[in-house]
Structure 1
Amino acid sequence: MFLPPLNPQLGLRRQLKTIVFRIPTRESPQKPAPPMHDPASTWNTLKDILPGTDNTVATRVSENEKRVLNVFGAPHFALLPRPEPHRSPSPYEYFCTVNESASHVEQPRLSVTKLLTDAWCELQTFYDVFAGLPSARSARLSSGTRHHENLEKQAHPRVDARRVEKQIESAAQKHAPEAVEVLFGTPMAAQLASQWSEHVTMRLVEMADTCELREIHVHGFLDLARGSLVTDAAHVRAAVLVNGVVDLVRVDASNHTQREPWLEEGLLLVDLSCAIPRAKATMTALSKDHFVHVYDVKTRQNDTIPAQRSVLDAARRQCMFYSRFLADLARDSNYAYQSWLENGRRRRVEPDAPLGTGNATELLLRHFETLALDYLRLARGTDLGFDDFDNSHTHRQKQNVDGPEHASRYTLSDFVSAAQFREMLAALYGQDSPFLELDVTPLFSAWKRPLTLRYFAARAGQTCNILEAVVPGSVGVEYHNMHTRRLLKRMHFALDGATLTAAVQHAASFWNGTRLPTATDDMKRCVYCLYKNRCPVKNRATEKVGERIYRLCESQDGACENLHGA
């Protein structure tokens, strides 16, 4: 062993010391986790750091916000995400898969208003889609709907629908409940038949006399991948159906072409096989110096007009979509016919399935003057005069493709007798109505050709073609006070093909998810937004608040001791 030398002054040898220590074999305890974030307790600190922060108490995540966060796998304390483009599912895929509106899941489609994604705030629209929310129906919207209905009744008076419904309900009570289900068939088939007959066929035929109509149904097909509208029948099945209702269509005319009233055997009945060609000839004559103008009617609570530029631009684009859809349906009767058929298929209605005889009776009572002669044609097996429809029946008879369920006996007598029907007709139109002079007994025997949605598609396709020669003119928006019913202002816009093309591409890229949704730059619009507490734009400053808190704590002696685990 080595010994240190002696200290010569002391004469002593230095003594050695042995130090013993133990190395721990177990791990040191982990540092304590930092405390969970408590929005309410840290709010005062946040206000000191961010003086501009909204002076409200932090709230819990809402159910709608939670849905969006769950879709994108984000924690519930996070801000709502703005996912990168091309993420699956796309907004349209999700809209048609998870939606509180079962109709859009069962019958995937869009509306023209859904194409106006940035009318208010596109980011809000995006979150609405991924929250699975249907379009909200407010009391204000209901009031606006009533105003539209009043305008429609003034322009197109009809027999009171409630009186017809009472007659039908009374007749239905005479049948067993299980029989009533068969007699009224598929509700959607009856709804489309009613809409297409009244809001397409009848309105367009009347337009040749009045040069004006209200509430006409139109549609188009949008190719989301290409960002363009489909205009040929061969490609509509691969595109997205877009439905719309035009509030007002007017043919601008200073001189109306006079035409003879439609009479049949001295009765005030419309023979569509004659009326449609005659109406087209009238509109073709007018087309030399007249144009089709499309308007949308907006209702207001007071006498003010929207000041937001995005709202006004959206209204203009909305009318451009309507004008384009109407022009596409008008240019070719075969395309229009095929597209109406495809519209029905998208709504899960088989075009050649017979309409319930209860539904057929109700439609006839509502629109006797327009449908009676066509009903008789179908019952007798007479052609309508529209080759695409007439030939399809001949082909189906030869190929026997209808099947036994479609070949069964079809007659209105399954629902009411001829005598009962005449009583219902008299109750609605009066005992002296000339309608009672028409012999409708063939309708209560076996029909040669049953009433189907294909018939209504054929007449709708024909009547759309009435406007073939009339060039689309301007589009416009009318603002009405819904309470006083006063017209506040009528705004006109020129049709702009470039604007419409850009609008189509903009809407398609939103719904197919190939671009990020944009947010409004007007924070006043955030007041009533369902996502304002978690919006990444409105709360953009909070994305850096953690770093600011850290720096603030670090600058204070011992303020961050717990956060550092010291």
Structure 2
Amino acid sequence: MASPSTLSSPSEPMNLDNDDDTDYGSDFSAGEEEIVSRLLSGQPIVEEDNPITNPPTTELEIEIELEFHDALQTLRLPKILGEEYWAPRPLFEAARAAEQVAEQLGNVASRSPPREDRYPDLSQQIRDPIKEKDLEIAREPLPEDPVAPDTRSPIERFRTQPKKALSVTDLVSPAWCELQYWYTLTKHGRKRRTPAMKQGSAVHKVLEDQVHTTVKVDIETKEDAWGLRIWNVIQGLKTLRDTGMTRELEIWGTVDGLVVNGVIDELSYICPDAELEESIEKPTTQDEPPPDQTTLTEFFKAEGSSIAEATRSKRRPQPKKVYLCDVKTRGVKSLPSASAFKPTKIQLMLYHRLLSLLATNTVDFSILTTRYNLDATRTFSDSFIAQVGSLNEEFFSAKTSQTSNSQSQGLDISQSSQDSTTILLAHNNLNSLWSLMINEFQITLPSGSASLGNVLKAEYRSRDTGEIVGAKAFMMDNDELTRYVEREMQWWKGEREPVGVVIEEAFKCRSCDFAESCEWRLKKVEEAKEKVRMSRRRSAVV
């Protein structure tokens, strides 16, 4: 068992939801699960279908990745100001070297003698002649029962307790192609992590390490684990106020009464595109005075006040806005096309909405505790409070030495070293800690959703080096998001069938693992052939 003060990368978390279909709960990869399933059912393993020895060679242009969840047993401590922390090229070069070694080992393993050569069949030598007749009977094929189609909705099949809850990825991935995501769920149960996605996760980890220090914490109950997740959000909001930026902030909300969670890559006070933001602000007309001008009525009402005092009250500083950014990784040094950008656009807008719900305290925490089978009144374990409290005190003690420097930079350092243990003791269950988190949201976003900037940014980085390739900024569109979510929930609830891409986006099929058997694609091919035949018939008649 690791010491709580030992720095470590995220470890495999415990399966808190008894979820056989969760991203966290299996010791096998998606490909290995498929092989085990075939072995248990007696189906042969075709070498060309083996995802271990023959991984897919195609890459999706889409940059939607799995929600980047940190391990549920890790605490994120803000980086101490002034630390130097990023050397991207050596890190990614080392990662690529490790991948090459793994690939060489895999090639050696694939050239090893077949299993039957290493483990000869001895059944003829040990077979009991007396049971030969029974073996013959056992070998007789049994009549196969027709498999009834599963008519349950995608929600019922894949996102109903005890399986994992909906994620932002679940709602966004169909924006690329609904049929592809449907095949992914039905054939694999989840989106398989490709080598490209693993490289993307490495980039995200480096960026997170610029802001947070990851520390392992031993937990005893699932309530402890959830308490740690909420505590990380509280620390993330404090980091945003102290340093002007935070990364990997987990959020929760509901869509149509269903729990949805996600992880925002970056929050900051820096507007991605000030000109874009100014262009959509309501222009000042001649009939309206400038916002900083004091009217005569207000002036005369300010009895006993000077002109300067009246003007000063009118010019109260507005709270800073918080802006969202999502980081995507690409293997090419170019930005995605408009159709490929749509999932990322929807993703950021959905983050914006979920964050607004938390800032306005409109998320019913009881829906979450019911969905995850949590006891919101259960007291956190003593070891959990002691570990988290002591680790935060170590951080704040180190931070105290930089107090004068931080004050000179105008940073908020009001949180003292005694806060952690004291606060946890005062908020020692999920209900109380959730209320504290909502209070932190209201401090960080005092005007609720109005404190969130409506300019959203997608930042694209090289998958190999982590360097910035480019960025796209756009405006939040609540109407567009509502239309999209309503339509996707119709599919998730089984109210309509999944659809494939439009003809103009057929390029997506080139990188799809299911293209050869896709019913939508085959139907479109037949439709195209029929149009050609009809055209030829009309030409022949003429």
TM-score by length of 1: 0.51
- Are residues 61 and 488 of structure 1, via their aligned partners in 2, closer, same or farther at CA, if it must alter by over 3 Å? closer
- Are residues 504 and 367 of structure 1, via their aligned partners in 2, closer, same or farther at CA, if it must alter by over 3 Å? same
For the aligned residue pairs, the C-alpha RMSD in angstroms reads 4.1
CA distance in 2, matches of 1:60, 1:150: 36
Q: Look up the SS of the partner of 2:442 in the other structure.
A: helix
Paired residues of 2:334 and 2:470 also in contact (CA < 8 A): no
Select which of 324, 343, 368 maps to 1:314. 343
For 1:301, the equivalent position in structure 2 comes to 331
Question: CA deviation digits over 1:351-381, x for unaligned, max 9?
Answer: 11222333333322432368x9xxxxxxxxx
| 1:258-407 alignment runs, 5 A limit | 287=318, 290-307=320-337, 309-332=338-361, 335-336=362-363, 338-339=364-365, 342-368=367-393
Select which of 536, 558, 561 maps to 2:519. 536
- Are residues 465 and 542 of structure 1, via their aligned partners in 2, closer, same or farther at CA, if it must alter by over 3 Å? closer
Question: CA deviation digits over 1:408-461, x for unaligned, max 9?
Answer: xxxxxxxxxxxxxxxxx9xxx79x999xx9899x99xxx987832233212211
Kindly provide the amino acid, as one letter, of the partner of residue 252 in structure 1: I
Paired residues of 1:354 and 1:451 also in contact (CA < 8 A): yes
- Are residues 515 and 541 of structure 1, via their aligned partners in 2, closer, same or farther at CA, if it must alter by over 3 Å? closer
CA distance in 2, matches of 1:197, 1:463: 11
For 1:185, the equivalent position in structure 2 comes to 220
Q: Look up the SS of the partner of 2:520 in the other structure.
A: coil
Shift in Å at residue 106 of structure 1?
1.7
CA distance in 1, matches of 2:152, 2:171: 18
Shift in Å at residue 142 of structure 1?
1.9
Paired residues of 2:457 and 2:474 also in contact (CA < 8 A): yes
Aligned pair count? 328
Select which of 475, 496, 508 maps to 1:494. 475
**Unpaired stretches in structure 2, ≥5 consecutive residues:** 1-45, 52-144, 273-314, 404-415, 531-542
CA distance in 1, matches of 2:197, 2:372: 25
The percentage of counterpart residues that share the same residue type is 23
CA distance in 2, matches of 1:542, 1:503: 27
Question: CA deviation digits over 1:128-186, x for unaligned, max 9?
Answer: 23335112122222221121121122123x3x52xx56xx6xxxxxxxxxxxxxxx422
CA distance in 1, matches of 2:417, 2:238: 22
For 1:84, the equivalent position in structure 2 comes to none
CA distance in 1, matches of 2:433, 2:520: 49
CA distance in 2, matches of 1:243, 1:530: 27
For 1:14, the equivalent position in structure 2 comes to none
Paired residues of 2:323 and 2:452 also in contact (CA < 8 A): no
Select which of 129, 154, 172 maps to 1:91. 154
The answer to which of 513-522 and 535-544 deviates more is 535-544
Question: CA deviation digits over 1:491-542, x for unaligned, max 9?
Answer: 1111112111112112211211212211123444334534333221222378
**Structure ID, larger Rg:** 1
CA distance in 1, matches of 2:499, 2:203: 33
Paired residues of 1:124 and 1:531 also in contact (CA < 8 A): yes
- Are residues 518 and 210 of structure 1, via their aligned partners in 2, closer, same or farther at CA, if it must alter by over 3 Å? same
Shift in Å at residue 73 of structure 1?
4.0
Kindly provide the amino acid, as one letter, of the partner of residue 242 in structure 2: D
Shift in Å at residue 331 of structure 1?
1.9
CA distance in 2, matches of 1:135, 1:212: 30
For 1:134, the equivalent position in structure 2 comes to 190
CA distance in 2, matches of 1:292, 1:468: 11
Residue 230 (structure 2) pairs with residue 196 (structure 1)? yes
Paired residues of 1:94 and 1:129 also in contact (CA < 8 A): no
For 2:166, the equivalent position in structure 1 comes to 110
Residue 261 (structure 2) pairs with residue 252 (structure 1)? no
CA distance in 1, matches of 2:352, 2:382: 36
Paired residues of 1:211 and 1:253 also in contact (CA < 8 A): no
Q: Look up the SS of the partner of 1:150 in the other structure.
A: helix
Residue 434 (structure 2) pairs with residue 451 (structure 1)? no
For 2:412, the equivalent position in structure 1 comes to none
CA distance in 1, matches of 2:146, 2:174: 22
Question: CA deviation digits over 1:84-129, x for unaligned, max 9?
Answer: xxx94111111135xxxxxxx4254111121124332211112223
Shift in Å at residue 488 of structure 1?
1.2
Kindly provide the amino acid, as one letter, of the partner of residue 534 in structure 1: S
Q: Look up the SS of the partner of 1:539 in the other structure.
A: helix
Kindly provide the amino acid, as one letter, of the partner of residue 360 in structure 1: I
For 2:441, the equivalent position in structure 1 comes to 464
Paired residues of 1:249 and 1:294 also in contact (CA < 8 A): yes
CA distance in 1, matches of 2:418, 2:321: 41
Select which of 237, 246, 252 maps to 1:213. 246
For 2:135, the equivalent position in structure 1 comes to none
- Are residues 320 and 72 of structure 1, via their aligned partners in 2, closer, same or farther at CA, if it must alter by over 3 Å? farther
Paired residues of 1:344 and 1:350 also in contact (CA < 8 A): yes
| 1:482-521 alignment runs, 5 A limit | 482-520=463-501, 521=503
- Are residues 524 and 197 of structure 1, via their aligned partners in 2, closer, same or farther at CA, if it must alter by over 3 Å? same
Shift in Å at residue 306 of structure 1?
2.1
Q: Look up the SS of the partner of 2:262 in the other structure.
A: strand
The answer to which of 527-536 and 477-486 deviates more is 527-536
Paired residues of 2:393 and 2:418 also in contact (CA < 8 A): no
Paired residues of 1:221 and 1:241 also in contact (CA < 8 A): yes
CA distance in 1, matches of 2:175, 2:425: 51
CA distance in 1, matches of 2:271, 2:332: 32
For 2:133, the equivalent position in structure 1 comes to none
Paired residues of 1:351 and 1:452 also in contact (CA < 8 A): yes
- Are residues 357 and 301 of structure 1, via their aligned partners in 2, closer, same or farther at CA, if it must alter by over 3 Å? farther
Paired residues of 2:460 and 2:471 also in contact (CA < 8 A): yes
Shift in Å at residue 194 of structure 1?
1.9
Shift in Å at residue 471 of structure 1?
4.3
CA distance in 2, matches of 1:526, 1:439: 57
Paired residues of 1:119 and 1:310 also in contact (CA < 8 A): no
Shift in Å at residue 327 of structure 1?
1.2
